[in-house]
Structures are given as C-alpha cells and as structure tokens.
Chain A
Amino acid sequence: MALDSDDIHVATAERIFSDRADLQTVAHDRDGAYRASLWQAVEENGLTIAMVPEEAGGVGLTLEEAFSLLRAAGRHAVSVPLAETMLANWALAAAGLEIREGVLVPLVPAPRGHLAIDAEGRVTGVCPEVPFGREAGAFVALCDGPDGPVIALLDPAACRIEEGTALSYEPLDWVHVEGAPAMASAPAGTAAALPEMAATARANQIAGALERMLDATVQYAQDRRAFERPISKFQAVQHLLARLGEECAAAVAAAGSAADTLSRGETGDALLLEVAAAKVRCGEAAEAASGIAHQVHGAIGITREHALHRLTLNALAWREDYGTEAHWALKLGQLVSAGGADALWPLLASR
C-alpha cells in the first residue's frame, strides 16, 4: 500500500490487518473466529498503547502517527476495539493513571448521556451507545466531578450493560452506572479532550474506509463488463467515481487536519473548528461515498457474501459514535454565530 509506507508503525499495522482480518475473510465469517487472533496480534505489537508516551509505558507515537494508524484500521474495517483501547489508554496516561492490558472501552457520555463522580469516587449516570461496551475489561469514563472533569476507571461488573447492535452489526451497548466505585480516578487534565480525540479517531477510521471503498470500486468498475465494455468506460460511471474520489479526498483532508491539530496540542476554538469539521465532513462523505460505491457495484455489493458492506456499513455506523454530524455542527455553529461576521474569517485563516 503506497499510503503512509514511510511510517513503519502504520506498515506493521497494515500487515497485521491484512494477515488476520482480510476483508473477504471477515465478510464470510459468521462466528467471529478471526477476532481472537487479530486482537492478540494487535496487542502484542503494541498498537493498543500506540498513543501513550514512552515514559508512561506506551509506544509514544505522535498523535498524528497514531491517527494515521487508525486510518489504516479503517481501510480494513477492523472490527476489534482497537480505537477504543487506544483512546482509553491515552486518557488514562493523560490523567496520570496507569495504563492497562486487555480490552478497554472509553465512556464518552456527551452529548446524549451523562456521568458524574461524587467526592467519594462513586460514579452515576448513563452512557448510551457505547461501541464494544460488552467486551470491555474495564471502562475509562469521562465524568463530571465536583471540581471539574475526572477520568475514572470502572469495573464493568459493577455496571449494568444493556446490549445493542450497530448498523455494522458490531456491539453498541448502553452502560448504566448506579453508584459504582471507581477503581481509580484522577482529574482529567489534558484527558478532558477525550471527546475530541474520540471524534477524530472515528473521522480517521471513516477516511480510511473511504480510501478502500474508492480503490475497490474503481477496480470493480474496470473489471465488470456490460454492453461489451468495462462499465468504467461509461461517462455516467466515471462521474460517479470522480464524486467518490472527491468525497474520499475531503474526508482524508478533514480527518488529517484534525489529527494534526491534536498532535500539535492546540486547544480552544481552533480545536473545536478542526474536530467538528472532521466529524461533520467525514460523516457526510461516508454517506455520499457509500451510496456511490453500492450503486457502482450493482447487486453483488448488497450481498452478505461480498466484502463491500464491511466498508460501507462501518463507515456509516462510525458517523453515530462520539457525536453525530448534527451534534458537532451545532457546537461549531454556536461558536461561529456568537462570534459574528468579523470573527469567522480570522478563525478559518488561522489554520
């Protein structure tokens, strides 16, 4: 794969994904047998602690590198809680807590849930639609504390997990917490940016899925023949593919720019602009690109047998996580409308 081949970590990850979770294998798999071996390889190679600085026991990639690793995971529609565990370990380290082995799942309750921690370290509230909730060895929750945001480590056994399913058939569970004692907790510090980190992670996964969708759809159009020629020779199909390419490009650009912003440690309005733009634009791109990819594939693309749905359904499902397009658009719109006509351009031009 040409992209990011300069980055050895991404190349390693890419190899693991294609060896252990090749798209076609996964599409045929009914009982998730491949997952255990994929997870083992992911953990053994340190991908789950990629975002954690070396001093805190991690691999110490820059956030930009770590997000491009997640873009690679998106290209393979990786269906183990890799992004989740990476984010959770990042949050633990950022709050000065010990990182952990095993599957970790972050609880980012905003915008539609809420978690609070009291002075005794008891956590109460609900976190709706938690990807891979049921698989967590521990939860890493962003809670409102008496003196500001707190990162709390929770034992899933002390929570009530209501199972649900995402559009992509991955687990999407509600986590109810009623006074569960935190196993560890600390003021969030820089980990208060967990919502921005998580949204940027999803944006990058979507961008990766779109890159692969583009590749697969262009290839399919060149192979598939109708009316005695490859369908790629029809101008209508070419224009659909051009639009798919454009949406893919927009997603890559938006997700990459947000990753770069977090990597530089920027905060405030600039960070909100970048993250909101990435989540909104990648969500929109996921929708447009999936539609085109399916249209160009014809009937074969809507079979369970064909791997396309791994990319399209995951990209669409990722729109829902850590704030939808509407959620982030509203936050960004509130910022811009409060600033007035003269503040918009300086904000855009500061990037």
Chain B
Amino acid sequence: MNVALRFDPVRLPDHCQDLRQEVRDFLREQVVQGVYDPTARSHGYEDICRFAKAVSERGWIGMAWPREYGGQERSFLERYVVSEEMLVARAPTRRYFVADRQSGPTLIRYASEPIKQRVLPQIIAGEAMFCIGMSEPNSGSDLFAAQAKATKVDGGWRLNGAKIWTTGAQHADYMIGLFRTSQPTRENRRHGLTSFLVDMHADGIKVSPIEMINGVMEFNEVLFDDVFLPDENVIGEIDGAWKQATSELAYERSGPERFLETFGAMRAFLTAVEGTDDTRLQEGLGRLIAQLHTMRRMSVSVAGMLEAGREPVTEASIVKDLGTVWDQALPKELRTLISLMDYDQYDVQAYRERMDFYTRMAPKLTIQGGTTEILRGIVARGLGLR
C-alpha cells in the first residue's frame, strides 16, 4: 500500500468516562440554576461570561496545557470529552472556545514568554475571549493574498487594513491576526505574513457586526487604523507565519464541532418521532446514526493521534470534510423523513421553527474554517497527488 490512512479504534479511557459524568452533572446544574437555556438560538454576552467563569472554576479551560502557565496537563482525550458534552448540551462556550481550542495552543508554541505568562492565565480564568483574524475582503481561501499591513515602528508595530468574517470579534479581548510585514518573494508567495497577538481594546480598532441569514450576529468586520502593538506581541517568526499554520489545523479541524453543530436538529427529530413504528422513518434514522457514529469514531481516533503527539493533518481534514458535509445535509435528510409523518403526530410548528433555524445555518458549515474544496485539496496532497 502506498497510501496509509489509519483510523485505529481508539477508546476513551475509563477516567474520561468519569469526567464525562462530571461534565453532565455540571451542565444540568447550570441549566437548573438558569445560567443558560439550552434551547436558545444564541446567548448574550453576560451569559457567556458567567458560563466561562463557571467552567473555569471546574478547571476545564486550558486543561491540557502546561502547569507553568496554569494548565493541568490533562490529556487531549479528556479535553475532547468535555468539549463534546458541551456541544451536545448546547452550552454557551463562545467566550473561551476558540482560545481553548486553538489560540492558547498557538501561544504556547510560538508566543514570547511575557505574553504567555500574562495571557494564558487569563484564558484559563475564562476572562480572555479570542477571535481569529485571517480572512479579509480580498483574501479567504487564498490566505496568502492578505493585505492588512503591519509596519515596523519604534518599539513595536502599527496595524492598518481590514479583516472580515471574524467570529466573535464584537466581544473578543484578543485576536490572533495575520498581517503583511513584507511583500511575497518570487520563489515563495507565502512569504511576508506575520502573526500578531492583537489587543482588541486598543485604540484604532473598529468592529462592526454582520448579521447572518439565520438572524445570528456571529461574525464581524474589523477595521484597523494605525493600531499600535508592542514587539512582544509578534507570534513566531517575522514573515514566516506560513510555517506555523499547518500544525494547528489538525486541532481545529477534527473536533466534534465538525459534525455536532446540527445535533439539535437530530434531537428535535427524535422528539417528534419517538415511538414511531414507521419502518421508513426508522430505516432513514438508522442510516444517519450509522454515519454519525462512524464520524465520531473517526474524530476520536484523530484525538488519539494528537494525544500520541502525531500531526494528522490529512486525517483531520477528512474528518472535517465528511463531518461538515454530513452536518449540512442533516436538516435536508430529516425533512425527507418527517414528511412521512402525519401532522397530528407531532408539534409541527415547533418542529418547523427549529428545523428552519438549522436549514438557514447549514450553508455556513462547509465554508467556515476552510471550504470543502480546500479540504479536498489537502486530502489530495496527503494522498501524494500534489
């Protein structure tokens, strides 16, 4: 075999399943205490702050990070369990999710020591929300077309330009952003971009929310007008950000959020069809569960590879592509099945309202975090074709 795609049947160790129970009990308590409403479409800023504090108190933010920065060096598999339980319970993790998943690990790997000492404990305390500043009006899939500029000045840098589609920027405390510090070279068009830690409260930053077709204000336009950053905020190599990008992708792409975003649609469907004896419905449902289970087993398998210190970039892209395409199709598949039910058998209005929410959200799933086409390009590279 030239091509070896391994997806070993990794099982979560027993202590992970104990942790899972703790997370479930915690979440139930949060709902009972009214900290969040699991059926809400989105959650307000106060809610997400309160929730982040509560999660932090349990030690579940940055739990796998080094102790010297306030982490607990728990396993990646434990983090995985916490993360999937939160997703399924539709917990409002927005304030810390991005930092916990990718910004923190990036800082640990590439940031200057003073930044790590200062910022990582803030994340762990649930007090530092991050956003990712990569996309621009004229640079999406083609990240290396980024034009927002960082210019060297005495003691630091000045930022100018625009980022767009920046999830959570309206509430974020920090951005990890990609800025042009030199022109690309003839040999390497990826040269010339540098990663910076941006303080979102700095002077000269303007954030304007953009409404999505499902009515949610999730992403934003961010304008930079001569924003000053000290030198220590450079993350990694100047002009060499492209070397840092790939290893993070495996973390970003293989997680349970890549196939559980519309799990609420599945729940609504199961509630509507509970006890049905229509074999057509049952068969259709069974197929979807078979596919979902397989994706989760693949995702857990990638988590196992990450835990073992590997960099499964191809495998992670496979999980994201299969996962997001599936997640996107779920409302459509459920629609086909529910059409077989009589209207007097379930609460039609309530069901339709929930399903419409997911149908409106579905198109974004295969765009955010790398489009289907870009992912397939990465898989093709993994197969030795590029």
Known A-B contacts A276-B290, A333-B283; A351 and B271 likewise in contact (beta carbons under 8 Å): no
Greatest chain B CB density within 10 A among A212, A328, A344 is at: A344
Shortest CB-to-CB span from B338 to chain A, Å, is 12
Known A-B contacts A249-B315, A330-B279, A344-B270; A241 and B385 likewise in contact (beta carbons under 8 Å): yes
Shortest CB-to-CB span from A40 to chain B, Å, is 26
Q: Is the CB of A250 closer than 8 A to any CB of chain B?
A: yes
Interfacial chain B residues near A241, Cβ < 8 Å: 380, 383, 385
CA distance A75 to B2 in the complex (A): 13
A245 and B318 form a contact (CB under 8 A): yes
A246 and B318 form a contact (CB under 8 A): yes
CA distance A325 to B291 in the complex (A): 11
A214 and B286 form a contact (CB under 8 A): no
A330 and B283 form a contact (CB under 8 A): yes
B1 and A2 form a contact (CB under 8 A): yes
Interfacial chain A residues near B294, Cβ < 8 Å: 250, 253-254, 257, 277-278, 281
Q: Is the CB of A222 closer than 8 A to any CB of chain B?
A: yes
CA distance A66 to B351 in the complex (A): 46
Question: Which A12-44 residues sit within 8 Å CB-CB of chain B?
Answer: none
Shortest CB-to-CB span from A183 to chain B, Å, is 38
A249 and B5 form a contact (CB under 8 A): yes
Bitwise interface map of B from 1 to 30 toward A, beta carbon under 8 Å scored 1, else 0 = 111111111010000010010000000000
Partner of A249, one of B7, B283, B286, B287: B7
Bitwise interface map of B from 351 to 382 toward A, beta carbon under 8 Å scored 1, else 0 = 00000000000000000000001011101101
Q: Is the CB of B44 closer than 8 A to any CB of chain A?
A: no
Greatest chain B CB density within 10 A among A218, A253, A345 is at: A253
Interface of A is mostly: helix
B286 and A1 form a contact (CB under 8 A): no
Question: Which A247-270 residues sit within 8 Å CB-CB of chain B?
Answer: 248-250, 252-254, 256-257, 259-260
Q: Is the CB of B298 closer than 8 A to any CB of chain A?
A: yes
B376 and A238 form a contact (CB under 8 A): yes
Q: Is the CB of A3 closer than 8 A to any CB of chain B?
A: yes
Shortest CB-to-CB span from B66 to chain A, Å, is 28
Interfacial chain A residues near B253, Cβ < 8 Å: none
Known A-B contacts A242-B379, A328-B290, A333-B286; A351 and B4 likewise in contact (beta carbons under 8 Å): no
Q: Is the CB of A229 closer than 8 A to any CB of chain B?
A: no
Interface residues on B, range: 35 or more
Interface of B is mostly: helix
Partner of A281, one of B5, B270, B291, B315: B291
B3 and A329 form a contact (CB under 8 A): no
Interfacial chain B residues near A277, Cβ < 8 Å: 289-291, 293-294
- Closest chain A residue to B8, Cβ basis: A256
Q: Is the CB of A349 closer than 8 A to any CB of chain B?
A: yes
CA distance A281 to B294 in the complex (A): 7
Partner of A218, one of B263, B315, B383: B383
- Closest chain B residue to A273, Cβ basis: B293
- Closest chain B residue to A214, Cβ basis: B3
- Closest chain A residue to B279, Cβ basis: A330
Q: Is the CB of A332 closer than 8 A to any CB of chain B?
A: yes
Known A-B contacts A232-B385, A242-B376, A277-B294; A329 and B315 likewise in contact (beta carbons under 8 Å): no
Partner of A250, one of B273, B275, B322, B386: B322
- Closest chain A residue to B372, Cβ basis: A239
A337 and B376 form a contact (CB under 8 A): no
22 residue pairs bridging A and B, Cβ less than 8 Å apart: A211-B3, A215-B3, A218-B384, A238-B377, A238-B385, A242-B377, A245-B379, A254-B290, A273-B293, A274-B293, A280-B287, A281-B294, A284-B287, A326-B283, A329-B284, A329-B290, A332-B289, A332-B290, A337-B275, A337-B281, A338-B275, A344-B270
Nearest 7 Cβ contacts at the A-B interface: A333-B286, A329-B286, A333-B282, A253-B7, A332-B286, A280-B290, A238-B380
Interface residues of A (CB under 8 A from B): 1-3, 75, 211-212, 214-215, 218-219, 221-222, 232-233, 235, 238-239, 241-243, 245-246, 248-250, 252-254, 256-257, 259-260, 273-274, 276-278, 280-281, 284, 325-326, 328-334, 336-338, 340-341, 344-345, 348-351
